Structure 1
Amino acid sequence: MPTTNLNISVIDKRMLKQSEAASYAGLPVRHFKATCPVRPVELKQGMQLWDRRDLDLWIDDVKSGAVTETRDTILGRL
């Protein structure tokens, strides 16, 4: 019986669209927009992308209790 090897290379994207970044953080887009302090990067004119590493740092800060945002700081980003 012949055997076949399948080599698949998967590259994780570092830069995420807003919907992908929200999903990565486990949040609906609307909630992500209102609460995420991570600023997007504009690699191409008009295209905003979120860096996965920055999102990881934010999530780690939230987990450790380092992020204590007030309603005013959240509204200020809107």
Structure 2
Amino acid sequence: MGTTNLNISVIDKRMLKQSEAASYTGLPIKHFKTACPVRPVELKQGTLLWDRRDIDLWIDDVKSGLVTDTRETILDRLG
């Protein structure tokens, strides 16, 4: 029986759409919108993207206990 080789090249994207960023964090989009303090970047007009590195830093801060949400920071993210 013959053999087949499959070459796959995967490029990890640094910038993520909102749905991808939410999936990356393991949160539903509605929770991601309210929980994530990372501000999106508009690289192309009308297209908001989240930087994976910034999301990683936020998650690291949450894990270390450095993130403490106040009423003002939560309202700022919602508005």
Residue 50 of structure 1: aligned partner? 50
2:28, 2:71 → 1: CA distance?
19
What stretches of structure 1 move > 3 A for 4+ residues in a row?
none
Query: Which aligned pairs between 1:1-78 and structure 2 lie closer than 5 A?
Result: 1-78=1-78
Query: How many positions carry a matched residue from both structures?
Result: 78
1:4, 1:76 → 2: CA distance?
54
TM score, norm. by length of structure 1 = 0.91
Q: Which runs of 5+ in 2 are unaligned?
A: none
TM score, norm. by length of structure 2 = 0.90
SS at match of 1:11: coil
